[in-house]
Amino acid sequence: MLYHPTMYETVIPPDTELITLRPKNQLTLPEALARKVEAAPGDRFRAWVQEDGTIVLRRCVSLAGKYPGLWGETTEQVVAHIRELRDEWERDRPWY
């Protein structure tokens, strides 16, 4: 039978870092963790709480420049494509 820890009996991996909640509800990401996820000052993160009380922190990744040509080769083509998507969205909204 597998052992499943409760939220009060958490199995802690050996490479964890201790983080302290500061008076203004701020956390500092330890340098070792920041290096592991290649985070830099100014990076943005999303955070949420799972059902078991675990806080998940995920770095937001910009897609800018990662998929060149996806919506067009020129700025004009990209703008035209975005306009088409907006028009399609306006047509398909069931609440109007």
- What residue ranges in 1-96 does DSSP mark as E strands? 45-49, 55-59
Tokens of 77: 């083509």
Domain count, the chain: 2
Q: What is the residue range of 22's domain?
A: 1-61
**Residues 45, 72 within the same domain:** no
- Could you give phi then psi for residue 45, rounded to 5 degrees? -130, 155
**Residues 21, 55 within the same domain:** yes
Give dist(CA 62, CA 18) in Å, integer: 28
Q: What is the pLDDT along the chain (96 residues), one digit of tens a residue?
A: 455 556 555 677 777 888 999 999 999 999 999 999 889 999 999 999 998 888 998 988 877 777 878 888 888 888 899 999 998 888 877 665
**Residues 50, 92 within the same domain:** no
**Residues 21, 48 within the same domain:** yes
What does the pLDDT read at residue 12?
77
- Assess contact for 39 and 29: CB atoms under 8 A: yes
**Residues 10, 27 within the same domain:** yes
C-alpha dihedral, 70 to 72 to 75 to 81, nearest 10°: -90
What does the pLDDT read at residue 70?
82
**Residues 70, 29 within the same domain:** no
**Residues 46, 82 within the same domain:** no
**Residues 28, 69 within the same domain:** no
